[in-house]
């Protein structure tokens, strides 16, 4: 898996001179993913993380894995598209499952951005009572009874062994390999004018121009990592709908959520943090009109204003966003796990 990632990054490094001259390089994926100094990618770490990611034994009741809500065959979101994540014992989570695609490039993790690293993120769903519901004080002894895992941890982290920290490191290592494949838009950005249709090209210009989509969905990941209240709900917000405000009670964080990537966006429906929208066109209309609600929305982002797009313009933008979808990343889903 790591070798495939390295090959992909090498291929992405060959940016055409035409793309550079047209200023298109900003839309192309970097040639490497960020890695912390204490958890550099190795084949052993990625392979261990892949096994842990798909292993249901990391959950209470041995029924759920990380892939249950972030599956490679569903755009790295729910295998069965639902508005909210479904976890342990059928419990429904408070938010839509976000894709983990290109999470390695994000500065904050989770919809509310409450942690900054994939290592911190990795253990959250495992311990959450509405998700995998497995306390770490039970998980680590459970894994230590599996001789195969003990050996794999010794190889991957010889100076650390099997601990809460290395479980997080291993899963994060695998997640760092979950990166976008080359899409039609990428080929266009590299100089292949025939890679996307004329309607998609016009949609791209609208995306950057009249629609102001790049106010939030900018750069190679089509997300600037910002947090916005896009006006999906009016009136006073409660509970998880408060968004980043729950992390710290700052007025500017009231009801704001992280801007998601648009890479492979056709695969990751339903849309928005609450999963309230089923189609890409409806999501585009809501954003282009300045949100679902115009009045009585506390702290709605300044960028959320009506852009006065007609239906044809919306269709062109949707056509463009569809070109951001590439082939599925080739991930071998384990059928056997350490014993």
Mean pLDDT in residue range 147-160 = 98
Q: Pick the catalytic residue from 131, 205, 241, 315.
A: 131
Give the C-alpha separation, 22 to 275, whole Å.
Answer: 37
- Report pLDDT digits (tens) over 89-101: 676 778 999 999 9
The pLDDT of residue 86 is 74
In DSSP terms, 277 is beta-bridged to: 271
Q: How confident is the model at residue 19 (pLDDT cuts 50, 70, 90)?
A: very low
Give the C-alpha separation, 251 to 91, whole Å.
Answer: 31
- Report pLDDT digits (tens) over 112-139: 999 999 999 999 999 998 899 999 999 9
For residue 79, how many other CB atoms are within 10 A of its CB?
A: 14
- Report pLDDT digits (tens) over 205-257: 999 999 999 999 999 999 999 999 999 999 999 999 999 999 999 999 999 99
Asked which of 9-23, 170-184, 194-208 is least confident by mean pLDDT, the reply is: 9-23
Task: Give the global pTM.
Answer: 0.91
Report yes or no: 274 and 259 within 8 Å, Cβ to Cβ.
no
SS3 content of the chain, % helix, strand, coil (to 5): 40, 5, 55
Both structure tokens of 329: 């990343």
Collapse the DSSP code of 91 into the 3-class scheme (helix H, G, I; strand E, B; otherwise coil) and give the result: coil
Give the C-alpha separation, 312 to 180, whole Å.
Answer: 29
The pLDDT of residue 9 is 56
Residues near 213 by beta carbon (within 8 Å), at least 6 away in sequence:
207, 287, 317
Asked which of 17-21, 77-81, 292-296 is least confident by mean pLDDT, the reply is: 17-21
**Using N-to-C axis directions, what is the helix angle for 147-156 and 164-175, rounded to 10°?**
70
Residue 198 pLDDT > 90, yes or no? yes
Domain range summary for the chain, segments of one domain joined by + = 2-175, 184-322
**Using N-to-C axis directions, what is the helix angle for 198-208 and 311-322, rounded to 10°?**
100
Count CA atoms within 13 Å of residue 123 on its CB side. 17
Collapse the DSSP code of 156 into the 3-class scheme (helix H, G, I; strand E, B; otherwise coil) and give the result: helix
Give the C-alpha separation, 188 to 75, whole Å.
Answer: 22
Report yes or no: 302 and 293 within 8 Å, Cβ to Cβ.
no
Give the C-alpha separation, 56 to 290, whole Å.
Answer: 42
In DSSP terms, 15 is beta-bridged to: none
Report yes or no: 244 and 257 within 8 Å, Cβ to Cβ.
yes
Q: How far apart are the first and last CA of the chain?
A: 22
What H or E segment, with its residue span, contains residue 257? Answer: strand 257-258
The pLDDT of residue 93 is 77
Residue 157 pLDDT > 50, yes or no? yes
Q: How confident is the model at residue 16 (pLDDT cuts 50, 70, 90)?
A: very low
Tokens 């904050």 correspond to what residue? 108
Q: For domain 2-175, which architecture applies?
A: Orthogonal Bundle (1.10)
Domains 2-175 and 184-322 share a fold: yes
Shortest CA distance to 12 belongs to which of 218, 265, 190? 190
Residue 329 pLDDT > 80, yes or no? yes
Phi, psi for 294 (deg, rounded to 5): -95, -35
Mark whether 241 is an active-site residue. Answer: no
Q: How confident is the model at residue 83 (pLDDT cuts 50, 70, 90)?
A: confident
Give the C-alpha separation, 294 to 271, whole Å.
Answer: 20
Q: What top-level class would CATH report for the domain 184-322?
A: mainly alpha
Residue 20 pLDDT > 50, yes or no? no
């Amino acid at each position: 898996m790591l070798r495939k990632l390295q090959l992909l990054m090498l291929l992405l490094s060959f940016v055409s001179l035409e793309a550079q001259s047209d200023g298109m390089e900003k839309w192309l994926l970097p040639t490497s993913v960020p890695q912390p100094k204490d958890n550099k990618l190795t084949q052993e770490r990625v392979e261990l993380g892949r096994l842990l990611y798909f292993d249901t034994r990391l959950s209470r009741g041995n029924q759920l894995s990380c892939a249950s809500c972030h599956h490679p065959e569903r755009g790295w979101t729910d295998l069965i598209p639902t508005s909210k994540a479904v976890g342990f014992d059928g419990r429904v989570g408070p938010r839509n499952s976000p894709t983990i695609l290109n999470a390695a490039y994000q500065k904050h993790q989770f919809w509310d951005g409450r942690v900054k690293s994939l290592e911190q993120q990795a253990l959250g769903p495992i311990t959450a009572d509405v998700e995998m519901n497995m306390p770490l004080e039970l998980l680590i002894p459970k894994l230590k009874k599996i001789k195969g895992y003990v050996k794999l941890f010794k190889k991957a982290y010889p100076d650390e062994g099997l601990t809460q920290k290395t479980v997080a490191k291993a899963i994060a290592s695998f997640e760092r390999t979950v990166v976008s494949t080359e899409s039609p838009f990428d080929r266009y950005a590299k100089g292949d004018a025939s890679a996307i249709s004329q309607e998609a090209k016009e949609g791209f210009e609208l995306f950057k121009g009249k629609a102001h989509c790049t106010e939030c969905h900018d750069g190679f990941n089509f997300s600037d990592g910002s947090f916005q209240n896009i006006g999906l709900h009016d009136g006073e917000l409660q509970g998880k709908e408060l968004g980043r405000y729950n992390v710290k009670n700052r007025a500017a964080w009231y009801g704001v959520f992280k801007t998601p990537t648009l890479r492979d966006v056709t695969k990751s429906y339903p849309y928005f943090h609450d999963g309230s929208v089923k189609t890409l066109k409806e999501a585009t209309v809501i954003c282009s009109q300045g949100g679902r609600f115009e009045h009585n929305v506390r702290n709605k982002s300044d960028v959320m204003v009506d852009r006065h797009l007609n239906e044809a313009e919306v269709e062109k933008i949707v056509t463009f966003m569809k070109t951001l979808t590439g082939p599925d990343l080739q991930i071998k889903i384990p059928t056997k796990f350490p014993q």
